[in-house]
Amino acid sequence: AQSVTQLGSHVSVSEGALVLLRCNYSSSVPPYLFWYVQYPNQGLQLLLKYTSAATLVKGINGFEAEFKKSETSFHLTKPSAHMSDAAEYFCAVRGGNYGGSQGNLIFGKGTKLSVKP
Amino acid sequence: EPEVTQTPSHQVTQMGQEVILRCVPISNHLYFYWYRQILGQKVEFLVSFYNNEISEKSEIFDDQFSVERPDGSNFTLKIRSTKLEDSAMYFCASSEMGQVYGYTFGSGTRLTVV
C-alpha cells in the first residue's frame, strides 16, 4: 500500500532563505508523486508532479523537487523564500488499484510554511 | 482559468441531519472525486465517479454517504445522518481523462456537525 510521510508540521524560514519541505513515500508500484499548495480559504493547487520522467521536477512559483528512489524521498525546495509562499504544502502519492495514469491521491499530513520578513 | 466551484463554503448542521454538499466540476471534465480533511489530519480520498457510477471508493465511504450527478453540471455528496466525526473540510475535484495528475480541486466546504 502507498503512503506519504511529511517531516515537520510547521517550518519557518526568513524571506530570501532556502525552503526545504521533506516528503518520504512508500509505494509498491512505481510512484507518481505530487506537491500541492493550499493558501488560506482556497483549494489545493498543484505545484509540481513526478510521473516517471525526469527526476528533477520544476513547478510553479520557483519550486522544484527531486525524486530519489534510493531514499524514497521527494523533497520540495525553493532557493529563496518569498512572503507570498506562506501556505500549507501537501505531498501526495498515487494510490488506488488503477493501472496507467488513473487512481486516487494519498496525501501527507501537510507542512505549514511561515515566512518571516 | 476554469475552476471547480463548491457550495456552500461553510455548513453547520445538527447531528443526525442529512447534508448535501454541492460541486460544479469543470465543464469538459468526465471524472469527479470527493476528498475530505478532518482538522489536523490528512486529506483522505472518499470516492471517484465516472460515467454516472462510482468507480472507486475508500473504506470511509460507507452506507451513509452517496454521490450523484443530478444534472449535467452538478456533482453532489450526500451524508444521510451526520455524526460529529463527519466534521471536516470536504474537497471536490475533477479531471478530464481520469489522470491522477490532472486533478483540479475546489476550495472546499467546511462541514461542522454540532
Inter-chain residue contact B107 with A42, CB threshold 8 Å: yes
Which of A6, A104, A106, A109 has the highest number of chain B CBs within 10 A, making it the mutation to test binding with B? A104
pLDDT tens per residue across span B17-26: 999 999 999 9
pLDDT at A1: 78
Residues in CB range of A65: below 8 A, 6 or more apart = A23, A33, A35, A48, A50, A56, A57, A59, A74, A75, A76, A77
Contact A76, A19 (CB under 8 A): yes
The 8-class DSSP code of residue A85 comes to G
Buried b (16+ CB within 10 A) or exposed e, B16-31: eeebebbbbbbeebeb
Measured between CA atoms, how close is A2 to chain B, in angstroms?
13
CA distance A9 to chain B (A): 10
Among all residues of chain A, which has the CA nearest to that of B110? Answer: A41
Mutation site for B-interface testing, chosen from A34, A36, A44, A67 by largest number of B Cβ within 10 Å: A44
Cβ–Cβ contact A34 with B under 8 A: yes
What's the pLDDT score for residue A97? 60
- Range of lowest pLDDT (A14-18, A87-91, A98-102, B84-88): A98-102
Q: Average model confidence (pLDDT) for chain B? A: 93
The Cα–Cα gap between A33 and B37 comes to 19
Residue among A116, A110, A107 nearest A21 (CA): A110
Q: Flag whether pLDDT at A81 surpasses 80.
A: yes
For A4-58, how does the pLDDT look when each residue is reduced to its tens digit (9 = 90+)? Answer: 999 999 999 999 999 999 999 998 878 899 999 998 878 889 999 998 778 999 9
Angstrom distance (rounded) from CA B22 to CA A76: 33
Q: Give the Cα separation of B6 and B3 in Å (integer).
A: 10
Looking up cell 494519498 gives A106
Query: Would you tell me which residues 39-98 of chain B have a C-beta closer than 8 angstroms to some C-beta of chain A?
Result: 41-45, 48, 56, 58, 91, 93, 98
One DSSP character per residue, B63-87 reads TTEEEE--SSS-EEEEESS--GGG-
List, for residues B43-81, the tens digit of each pLDDT value. Answer: 999 999 998 999 889 999 999 999 999 887 899 999 999
Q: Which of B9, B44, B91 sits opposite A44 (nearest CB)?
A: B91
User: Residue B13: is its pLDDT beyond 60?
Assistant: yes
Q: Is the pLDDT of residue A100 over 70?
A: no
